Amino acid sequence: MDDDKIIIHPSCSFEEVEIPVVLPDEPEPYIEQVLAECCTHVLVILKENNFDIESDGFVKDFNGLVDFLRALMYREIGLEHPLIKK
């Protein structure tokens, strides 16, 4: 959607606000918590849509996806992970 097509009501104020990134003191447990939350949501949605999330193939592939997401988050906060090279 183009921003120039959005009409803001005169009674509303709109300002773009930059949200500062706050890194946790212990990044690894933080990343594991975020992974658990987001992956749980993904699994619930897939299950609700009749995907067999308990099959051996699915579990293997989903574990690979989780590892990739972990590596991506590690890189974003400046940590190294064996799946992603700088």
d(CA 38, CA 68): 13
- Whether the model pTM is above 0.85: no
Query: Over 60: is that where the pLDDT of 70 sits?
Result: yes
**Residues 13-61: pLDDT tens digits?**
666 777 666 677 888 989 999 999 999 999 999 999 999 999 999 999 9
Domain range list for the chain: 23-86
Distance CA 51, CA 57 (A): 12
> How high is the pLDDT of residue 43?
96
**Of 27, 58, 30, 57, nearest in space to 42 by CA:** 58
Neighbouring-strand partners of residue 81: 84
Q: Residue 86 — very low, low, confident or very high, per pLDDT cuts 50/70/90? A: low
